[in-house]
Amino acid sequence: MSAARWLLALLANALLATPWAGAAWALDDPAARMRKTVLDNGLTLLTLEDRATPAASLQVWVKVGSGDEARYTGIAHLFEHMMFRGTKRLGPEAHERLIEARGGRVNAFTSRDVTVYFGDVTSEHLPLVIELEAERLRHLDMSAESLESEREVVLEERRFRTEDSPQGRLFEALMALAFQAHPYRHPTIGWRSDIEKVDVETCRRFFETYYAPNNLVVAVAGDFDSEEVIELVRRHFGPLEAAERIPRNPTVEPVQQGERRSTVHFGVRAPLFAAAWHAPPSGHADAEALDVASLILSSGRTSRLYRRLVYEEQQALSAVGSYWELQNAGVFYASAGVRPDADVAKVERLFFEEIDRLRDEPVTEAELDKAKRGLEVDLVNGLATAHALASRIGRDFVTFGEVRPLEQRLEAIRAVTAADVQRVARTWLVPERRSVVHLVAPPAAAADGAGE
């Protein structure tokens, strides 16, 4: 958030005297104590001491995701798997086994914008996590054999998450429909044919291109001494060589000119409905108002979608709408699980009536207050563990180049008005820029199910 916007938010809050204005809100933001260290090779290290927990979380945020892919979709994610397949000194999966044997948790995830590796341990094991992360960045050992084995694992993951999953198929179809030019259209796990064909050389080039220290942010939170962690990181990550430049995808999604629709056939008993509107990317001034709209639509039994679709009309088992911000674009995502005996077209109509209502009339003050309070509580809950703290500083820094102070975020949330919510709904949630997918049983299977 820009300084100007921050100031505006503050002013607005002071003028509006929201219900919180009088409440003593003395939340200590641990991120205020965060230290930032930039190594000579460009690696950014963020350390946040929190001595009230026995745990420590170290996260390596790599600024590459499936949105950076060219030619082979899924390589960012497949490569993430390869990072666990051993180094010149350590065998396949040894990294994970070593930390597991000390009771720690190890995992990684890939999104459209980032790849994140983490180790959560009781704090006496933090030095091991630091050395292991540096080890694979400096001495990764990829072989054709390990790639073959991991390729099969990823294909199993694709079957599990997407091909045999109604939700997975629905979401894959929706993103491929909403984006036509930008690589965000591709599933992060990749299309099957690409996963089947990618080779070791391509993986190696991908690694050399994106896994440079000046493309990494290391975030550490929990019980440790910053000086000592900084020294260890300097020692073990310092020898990495910076890349001259990190290539970025130039594509900008053209403005959508009219609704898009698609149907997916899959043998389900309960059809699914989903829609996506193009929305602004991370850091946009409308973010908080879109978040507030999300909560008014979807949070709790009093939310509009629950009340209308699930409770009153009894057409859906669930219904949500939420703002999903990405680095280079955003999506307002809607989905509903249709009751087996209900009609997906009717669910869509009811859903869009609620979206229309958001555009046509201002939300009530009670709804506004409730949504803001929900966001406020979410922020507090996000401070509860070392892992959550490291995630917050890592994500914020990678996305915004700074860690947004809690107070600033609270003020921005509190500044949202009913008029703001209506304005962003009118700006973004328009029929011309939405994509709609129905996932239903193929006609034959539907008849089969009906005859049961």
Q: Using the minimum distance from each CB to another protein, give the nearer residue, 395 or 433.
A: 395
Closest distance of CB 8 from another protein, Å: 23
Report if residue 272 touches another protein, rule: CB under 8 A: yes
Q: Using the minimum distance from each CB to another protein, give the nearer residue, 358 or 441.
A: 441
Cα distance between the two ends of the chain: 56
Report if residue 55 touches another protein, rule: CB under 8 A: yes
Closest distance of CB 295 from another protein, Å: 9
- Which run of H or E residues covers position 134? helix 126-139
Report if residue 181 touches another protein, rule: CB under 8 A: no
Report if residue 366 touches another protein, rule: CB under 8 A: yes
Q: If phi over 0 gives left and psi between -120 and 50 gives alpha, with beta otherwise, what is residue 140?
A: beta
Choose which of 385, 408, 417, 427 interacts with another protein (CB under 8 A): 385
Specify which residues 45 forms β-bridges with: 37, 218
CA nearest 99: which of 138, 127, 61, 73? 127
List binders of another protein among 405-434 (CB under 8 A): none
List binders of another protein among 237-256 (CB under 8 A): none
Q: Rounded to an integer, what distance in angstroms lies between the CA atom of residue 391 and that of residue 395?
A: 6
Report if residue 176 touches another protein, rule: CB under 8 A: no
Closest distance of CB 449 from another protein, Å: 5
Helix (H, G, I), strand (E, B) or coil at 4: helix
Report if residue 125 touches another protein, rule: CB under 8 A: yes
Count, residues near another protein per rule CB under 8 A: 129
Contacts of 446 (CB under 8 A, 6+ apart): 440
Contacts of 380 (CB under 8 A, 6+ apart): 27
Query: Token pair for residue 416?
Result: 């949202």
Only segment of 37-45, 205-213, 262-270, 415-423 that touches another protein (CB under 8 A): 262-270
Query: Which residue has tokens 């050395």?
Result: 131
List binders of another protein among 209-238 (CB under 8 A): 223-225, 228-229, 231-232, 235
Q: Are 27 and 380 contacting, i.e. CB atoms less than 8 angstroms apart?
A: yes
Report if residue 137 touches another protein, rule: CB under 8 A: no
Site string for another protein, 142-161 (x = CB under 8 A): ------xxxxxxxxxx-xxx
What backbone phi and psi angles, to 5 degrees, belong to 42? Answer: 95, -5
Only segment of 76-84, 204-212, 244-252, 254-262 that touches another protein (CB under 8 A): 76-84
Q: Using the minimum distance from each CB to another protein, give the nearer residue, 155 or 425.
A: 155
Closest distance of CB 270 from another protein, Å: 4
Instruction: Report CA Rg, the chain.
Output: 23
Closest distance of CB 416 from another protein, Å: 15
Q: Classify strands 330-338 and 272-279 as parallel, antiparallel or unpaired.
A: antiparallel
Choose which of 31, 212, 310, 413 interacts with another protein (CB under 8 A): 310
Choose which of 395, 404, 409, 414 interacts with another protein (CB under 8 A): 395
Query: Which residue has tokens 């869509």?
Result: 348
Choose which of 54, 239, 247, 431 interacts with another protein (CB under 8 A): 54
Query: Which residue has tokens 């992360």?
Result: 133
**Alpha helix (H) ranges present in 401-450?**
406-414, 418-428, 443-450
Report if residue 194 touches another protein, rule: CB under 8 A: no
CA nearest 326: which of 292, 294, 277, 280? 280
List binders of another protein among 101-120 (CB under 8 A): 101-114, 120
Site string for another protein, 13-42 (x = CB under 8 A): ----------x---x---------------
Q: Using the minimum distance from each CB to another protein, give the nearer residue, 107 or 180.
A: 107
Closest distance of CB 271 from another protein, Å: 10
Report if residue 362 touches another protein, rule: CB under 8 A: no
Q: Rounded to an integer, what distance in angstroms lies between the CA atom of residue 426 and that of residue 211?
A: 41
Q: Using the minimum distance from each CB to another protein, give the nearer residue, 34 or 268.
A: 268
**Alpha helix (H) ranges present in 338-405?**
344-360, 365-381, 386-400
Q: Are 144 and 79 contacting, i.e. CB atoms less than 8 angstroms apart?
A: no
Only segment of 100-108, 177-185, 346-354, 422-430 that touches another protein (CB under 8 A): 100-108
